Structure 1
Amino acid sequence: MNSEFSIAVHSLVLLAHRSDRMATSDTIADNVCTHPARVRKVLGILRKQGFVSTREGIGGGYILSCDPEETNLAQVYRAVSMGTLKPGWCSGDPEKVCIIASTVQNVMDDMFQEAELHLEQYWEKWTIADVLRKICSVHKCKETK
């Protein structure tokens, strides 16, 4: 899995918490603890998928455009990280004579696909609002500001 998923969830939860205000990529990046360019890349994907809206210029930024109660983490995962569970490199070579070397790559591909389906099913159980509630239960805060 790549870090874009964590950045996306963190950003969406932050925007849900700030539901009445826009946030700049600098503000979000400071909260996420990463570079604003990485945040803009991820938020660009989320914008194209309808999770966030943007407004340019002074007072502009990003604002949540999805319902945090209805948006589950599987939807976010599909938007920014689908297919990243499998490593970019797998051992083995289908051209080898050895039954292990010639087959392990296909077997592992199937296993990664199945694991990703299970992961998606798990993420479907969690919404952006659930993550915000969990955070606020730790810090005894209101869910939105």
Structure 2
Amino acid sequence: MSDSQRFPVAAHVLAYMAHKDAYGPAQAAPSALLASSVPTNPVVVRRVTALLAKAGLIATRPGATGGSWLLRRPEDIRLDEVLRAVNGCAHLGSTPAGAKGCPVGEHIPRQVAKALTAADQAASEALSKITIADLLDKHPASLAAFAPHKSCPLAA
């Protein structure tokens, strides 16, 4: 799974667990069920849920009767936490090393790296105002000013 897919998959599975009221082992959502909602492979979901569990957002139980459930209410899970949990960032790329002896090549990588840090901080700040509960709301105030991203198949 590409790094750029971890965050959308994580947000989706957390919202699905909230929708299904998966708040304990008895309501655990199996990875196959979560994967069918995304849609993706259950292995992708298990990789993401492992990261979410490590961050303390969910708990998981392996095996045939296993699955995942939320440890917090959806209104208490901010998307910046989800982004950090899956080691996400703004995904604008990484800075290549500049050429030694080139006045631009020796200077620009550091400045581009700072610009990437600024973008990551801006993304985190914006996502800190949106919760998993907002994703389930048809018209949340936190997203009212935005149109779907152009990468969304439903954006057209």
TM-score tier, shorter chain, comes to: 0.7 to 0.9
Equivalent residues of 1:83, 1:116 under 8 A apart: yes
Taking the aligned partners of 1:100 and 1:12, their CA distance within structure 2 comes to 44
Higher relative contact order (CA 8 A, sep 6+): 1
Taking the aligned partners of 2:90 and 2:17, their CA distance within structure 1 comes to 25
2:18 aligns to what? 16
Taking the aligned partners of 2:32 and 2:67, their CA distance within structure 1 comes to 9
Letter of the 2:106 partner, please give it: S
Q: Structure 1 residue 28: deviation in Å?
A: 0.6
Identity %: 30
Taking the aligned partners of 2:63 and 2:103, their CA distance within structure 1 comes to 60
Q: Structure 1 residue 84: deviation in Å?
A: 5.8
- Residue 68 of structure 2 aligns to a residue whose secondary structure is strand
Q: How many residues align?
A: 134
Equivalent residues of 1:92, 1:103 under 8 A apart: no
Which structure shows the higher helix fraction?
Answer: 1
CA shift digits 1:99-120 (9 cap, x unpaired): 2222111110000001100100
Taking the aligned partners of 1:16 and 1:132, their CA distance within structure 2 comes to 8
**TM-score under structure 1 length normalisation:** 0.82
- Residue 105 of structure 2 aligns to a residue whose secondary structure is helix
Q: What are structure 1's unaligned runs of at least 5 residues?
A: 137-145
- Is 1:93–2:98 an aligned residue pair? yes
Runs of 4+ residues over 6 Å off in structure 1 = none
2:58 aligns to what? 52
Q: Structure 1 residue 125: deviation in Å?
A: 0.6
Letter of the 1:98 partner, please give it: C
Q: Which of 23, 29, 33 is 2:35 aligned to?
A: 29
2:152 aligns to what? none
**TM-score under structure 2 length normalisation:** 0.77
Q: Structure 1 residue 55: deviation in Å?
A: 2.7
RMSD, matched Cα: 2.1
